[in-house]
Chain A
Amino acid sequence: MTIKLFTLLMQAALYTLGISIVSIVIGFAIAILLSAAMLSGKGIYIAPARLFISFFRGVPLLVQLLLIYTLLPVIGINVPSIVAAIIGLSLCTAAYQAENLRGGFDAVPKGLVEAADVTGFNPRQTFFRIRVPIALRLTFPALVNEAIMILKSSSLVSVVGIIELTKMAQDLSSSTYLPIPIFASAGAIYLVINWAIALVAGRVERSLPKVTA
C-alpha cells in the first residue's frame, strides 16, 4: 500500500462525495413534491406518490440501478452512465426522504397549529411560518441519517461501471493483488466521511431551536 494508491482512492472518494451530494439534493427536491402529494388529501395525488414511495423503498437499490440502466436507452433516453446512476440514487433517496418529511409534518404539535390559528394566522401563514419550519426541524436528524445511507449506497453504482471509491478500490485490488489494505483503506475513508457528517450534523442540530409542544 503506497501513497500513490491512497491518493488514487482519495481522488475517487471525491467522486463518491459528489455523486452523493447531488443525489441527496435532487432527492430532497423530489421528496418535497412527493410529501406535498401525500399531504394534499386528494386520492388522485396520494395514490401515485404512495406507489412511487412503496416501489423505491421495496426494491433493492442495485436492482433499481440495473432497471434504470436498461430502461433509459429502451425508451430513447441516452445519457452518460453517471447521469443514470445519479437518477437512480436520487429517486431512491427521494422515497425515503418523502417518508421522513411526511413523518415530520405529522409530528408538528397540534397545539402550535391551533395557537397560530387563534392568533389570527391565515392557513397559508400557518403552513409556511409554523408547519414547514417545525417539520423541517423535526426531519433534520432523519435527513442526516439518509445522507449517511446514500453515501454508503453510492458504492453500488460501482456495479454499473462508475469509477467512484468502491470501483477504484476494486480495480486497484485486482491490479496490485493487495485486497486487504486497499479495501480496508476504502472502508476507512467511508467511515471518516460518515463520522465527519455525523459530527457536523450534531453541532448544527444543537444550534437549532428545540421543538416543544
Chain B
Amino acid sequence: MIFDPTVILDKLPEIGSGLLVTLVLWIVGIVGGVVAGFVVASARRFGGMAINGVLGLVVEVLRGTPFLIQVFLLYYGGPFVGLMLDPIPCGLIGLTVYAAAYYSEVFRAGFAAVPPGHVEAAECLGMTRLQTIRRIQIPEMALIVLPPSVNLAVILLKESAVLSVITVPELTTVVSAIGSQQYAFLEAIFVLAVTYWVIVEATDRLGRLAERRLSRLRFSKA
C-alpha cells in the first residue's frame, strides 16, 4: 500500500463543507453553552436551595454519562416523545446542552473565586450592585474562567466528532466517507487527525494569548 494523501486532497471542496459544519456546530455549541451555562450557574447561586439542588443533579447526570449515550437518547429516543430531529439540529442541541453543563461548573467556580473583600470594597466606595457586578465581579471572573473555558472549547471540538455516529455531515463523517470511496482510509483518517490537531493547537495558543492580555489588566492580587 502506498501512502498518498493527494487522493484525499482532490476532494477539498467536500472536506471544506464538512469542516464548515464542524465549525458551526462547535461555535454554536460554545456560544450556547456559555450563555446557558452562565444562566444555570447564576440560577444555582442566587435562586435558592431547591433550584440549586435540581440543577445540580441535572448537571451531575450530564457530566457523569458519556456524550455518545446522551446523543443516542436524543436521536433515537426523541421520536418516542414527539421530538423528531434531523441529525444536524440533534447534534446542535446535544452539544449545546452538554457544553452548558460543563460551562455552568466553570462559572460556578468563577463566582466562588471572586474575593468577597473586593465586592465589599466596591460597596464601600459607593458603587451600586450593578456597577459592582459589571466592573468588579465580571472582569475578575473573566480572568479566572478563561483558561478552563478554552480547555472546554477544545473538548467540545473533539466531542463534535462523536456526532458522526448519528450521521451529522461534519468533518469526521465526510472525510471517512471519502476514505471509503477512494479506498484510501488511512490517508483520510490521517488528514482528519491533522485537521483537528491544527485547530486545537491554534485554539490553545489563542487562549494563552488572551490570557496574557487579560492578566495585564489586573493590578491587584488581593
Contacts and interface: CB of A to CB of B under 8 A. Distances in A.
B158 A191 contact: no
B157 to A, nearest CB: 8
What's the interface size class on B, roughly? 35 or more
A131 B81 CA distance: 56
Contact of A66 (B73, B77, B176): B176
Interface in B43-73: 60-61, 64-70, 72-73
A157 to B, nearest CB: 10
B109 interface: no
A166 B196 contact: no
Contacts of B192: 63, 66
A155 B69 contact: yes
Contact of B66 (A59, A67, A71, A155): A155
Nearest to B194: A59
B72 A170 contact: yes
Interface in A164-213: 166, 169-170, 173, 179-180, 183-184, 186-187, 190-191, 194-195
Contact of B197 (A58, A70, A166): A58
Contacts, number: 106
Contact of B189 (A67, A184, A195): A67
A62 B189 contact: no
Interface of B: 1, 60-61, 64-70, 72-73, 76-77, 80-81, 154, 157-162, 164-165, 172, 176, 185-186, 189-190, 192-193, 196-197, 200-201
Given A59-B158, A70-B185, 17 more contacts: A55-B193, A60-B159, A60-B196, A62-B162, A63-B161, A66-B189, A74-B186, A152-B66, A153-B66, A155-B67, A155-B68, A156-B68, A183-B69, A184-B73, A186-B69, A187-B61, A187-B66
13 contacts: A54-B201, A57-B200, A58-B197, A59-B196, A60-B172, A60-B196, A153-B66, A156-B66, A156-B162, A183-B73, A187-B69, A190-B65, A194-B64
